[in-house]
A and B are shown apart, each in its own frame.
Chain A
C-alpha cells in the first residue's frame, strides 16, 4: 500500500485494487492476508497481534466459536504464541518439517516451513527428546489445529522450561482474573469476566482484594493508585457494618490480617487521598462518602 502512497496514490490504489478487494484501501492488504490463512474474518485487527506464552493443552482445548472464526483462549483472541516442549517425533517433508511437540500437558504438531532458498533448511535440526522453544501462529486447518512455526530454537537452560510454565500461568490468570494490583484494569476485568471469583489463589485477604478490584474500577478511581495494604483496609472498612462511627485500629488490624504498623501506614495513605476520615479518635476511621 505505502508504495502507492504520495499525491494521488490513494485514488490509484483504490481504482486498481478496490474492485477486486471489494473494500477500499485496507481491503487489499486484509483480503490477501486473511485469504492465505483461511481466516474468514476480513476485518482482522492486526494491532491486536500479541505474542502469548501458552501450554499446549490450552491450544488443544481452545475452540472456535464457528468455523473460520478467530481462536480464543480465556476470551482473548490468540494468534502468535510461544510454547516450550519436547520433540517426540520428526517428520521431514519437501515443503515443511513436522515436529510432534509434547510439553506434558498435551501433544501438538508444529510445522516449520522449509525455505527453499536456504541450503539445508530442510534438514531437521532437533532430534527426539530435545527441549525446544517455538514461536509461531496457531492455525486451524480442516478442523485440525497445528502451530505454524516462525522460529524454533533449542533450550539450553532447563530452567527455561519451568519459567515458561509459570509465565503461561501468569498470563492466563491475569486474563482470567485481572492484573494483580493493576490500576483500573483489575476492576474492569473483574466485572467483565471474573464474576465473584477471588483474584488470588489463597483466601484470607483475597476476598477483600477481589472486591477492591471491582470497587476500584467502578466507584472510585483514586483507589486504583493506592498501595495494596491501603486497598485492603479500604475494602475492609467498606464491607464492615460500622456506620458513621468507623472502625478502630485494632479491629482493622484483626480483620485484615495486617500489622498495626501497616494499618497506620495504610490509613495515612487513605487519609491523604481523601478516602477515609478519622471519627471518635485518631485511630478510628470511616469511609468518606459524599
Chain B
C-alpha cells in the first residue's frame, strides 16, 4: 500500500541513510543512561527513548532515524534475547541491498 520501506542496515550503511528510518539488528554492547552502543557489523550509537528496555549482551532490533552524526534516534525497540544469529542478520542486510527490487524503495 504505502510505497516506503525501512531498510535493514548494518553499521557500514549508516551514511547512506542519514535522515531516513532504518532497521538495525545487533547486539547491545553497552548502555549509558539514555544512550546505547549496538554492534551490527560495527558499533552504532543509539539514542534511546523511555519505552526502550534493553539488556546488555542481548540481541536487539531497533527501528530509528539516522542522525547526521551517524547515531540513531530510536523510535521503537524490540529485545530479542540471546538466541539471535547476528551474522545471519548482517547477511540479510547485505542481501537486501543486493536485491533492492525486493526490499528497498529508493
Judge: A and B partners, yes or no: yes
**A106 lies within 8 A of B5 (CB):** yes
Q: Which of B7, B76, B92 has the most CB of A within 10 A?
A: B92
17 contacts between A and B (CB under 8 A): A57-B105, A60-B3, A104-B8, A104-B23, A105-B104, A106-B1, A129-B78, A145-B1, A158-B80, A159-B83, A162-B85, A162-B88, A166-B88, A166-B91, A168-B102, A169-B96, A201-B98
Task: Find chain B residues with CB under 8 A from A144 CB.
Answer: 1
Task: Tell me if A165 is interfacial: C-beta within 8 Å of chain B.
Answer: yes
Docked Cα-Cα span, A144 to B2, in Å, equals 11
Majority secondary structure, B binding face: mixed
Q: Are B5 and A105 in contact (CB under 8 A)?
A: yes
Does A185 interact with chain B (Cβ within 8 Å)?
no
A107 in the interface (beta carbon within 8 A): yes
Q: Chain B's nearest CB lies how many Å from the CB of A202?
A: 10
Can you name 4 extra interface pairs (CB under 8 A) apart from A162-B91, A165-B95?
A104-B23, A106-B4, A107-B2, A169-B95
* Cβ contact of B102, chosen from A163, A172, A201, cutoff 8 A: A172
Contact flags (1/0) for A184-228 with B, using CB distance below 8 Å? 000000000000000001000000000000000000000000000
Q: Which residues of B contact A55 (CB under 8 A)?
A: 102-103
The interface size bin for chain B is 20 to 34
Q: Which residues of B contact A108 (CB under 8 A)?
A: 1
Contact at B88–A172, with CB atoms within 8 Å?
Answer: no
CB of A58 closer than 8 Å to a CB of B: yes
Give CA–CA (A145, B2) in the complex, Å.
Answer: 11
Does A162 contact B103, Cβ atoms closer than 8 Å? no
A57-B102 in contact given A129-B78, A162-B89, A166-B95 (Cβ < 8 Å): yes
Residues of A within 8 A of B105 (CB): 57, 106
Query: Which of chain A's residues 115-144 have a Cβ closer than 8 Å to chain B?
Result: 129, 131, 144
A159 touches B5 (CB 8 A): no
A149–chain B nearest beta-carbon distance, Å: 16
Chain B residues, CB < 8 A from A57: 5, 102-105
Q: Give Cα A284 to B3, complex, Å.
A: 56
A57, A163, A173, most chain B CB atoms within 10 A: A57
Q: B6 contacts A158, CB within 8 Å? A: no
Q: Which chain A residues lie closer than 8 Å to B8 at the CB level?
A: 104, 165
B83: shortest Cβ distance to chain A, in Å? 7
Across-interface contacts of B95 in A (CB, < 8 A): 165-166, 169
- For residue B91, give the distance in angstroms from its CB to the closest CB of chain A: 7
The distance from the CB of B25 to the nearest CB of chain A, in whole angstroms, is 8
A164-186 interface (Cβ within 8 A of B): 165-166, 168-169, 172-173
A157: interface (CB < 8 Å) = yes
Shortest Cβ gap from B26 to chain A (Å): 12
A201: which B residues are within 8 A, CB to CB? 98
Residues on A with beta carbons closer than 8 Å to the beta carbon of B3: 60, 106
Assembled-state Cα–Cα distance A119/B81 (Å): 34
Cβ of B61 under 8 Å from chain A = yes
User: With the chains together, A212 CA to B105 CA distance in Å?
Assistant: 33
Q: Give every chain A residue within 8 A of B2 (Cβ-Cβ).
A: 60, 106-107
Closest to B63 in A: A104
Most chain A Cβ neighbours within 10 Å, of B3, B99, B103: B103
- The complex places the Cα of A201 from the Cα of B94 at a distance, in Å, of 12
B56 in contact (CB, < 8 A): no
Rounded to whole Å, the gap between the CB of B7 and the closest CB of chain A is: 7
B23 to chain A, nearest CB (A): 5
Contact B102 A162, beta carbon cutoff 8 Å: no
Q: Is B64 an interface residue (CB 8 A)?
A: no
Instruction: List B contacts of A157 (CB < 8 A).
Output: 83
Map CB proximity to A onto B53-91 as digits: 1 under 8 Å, 0 otherwise: 000000101000000000000001010110111001101
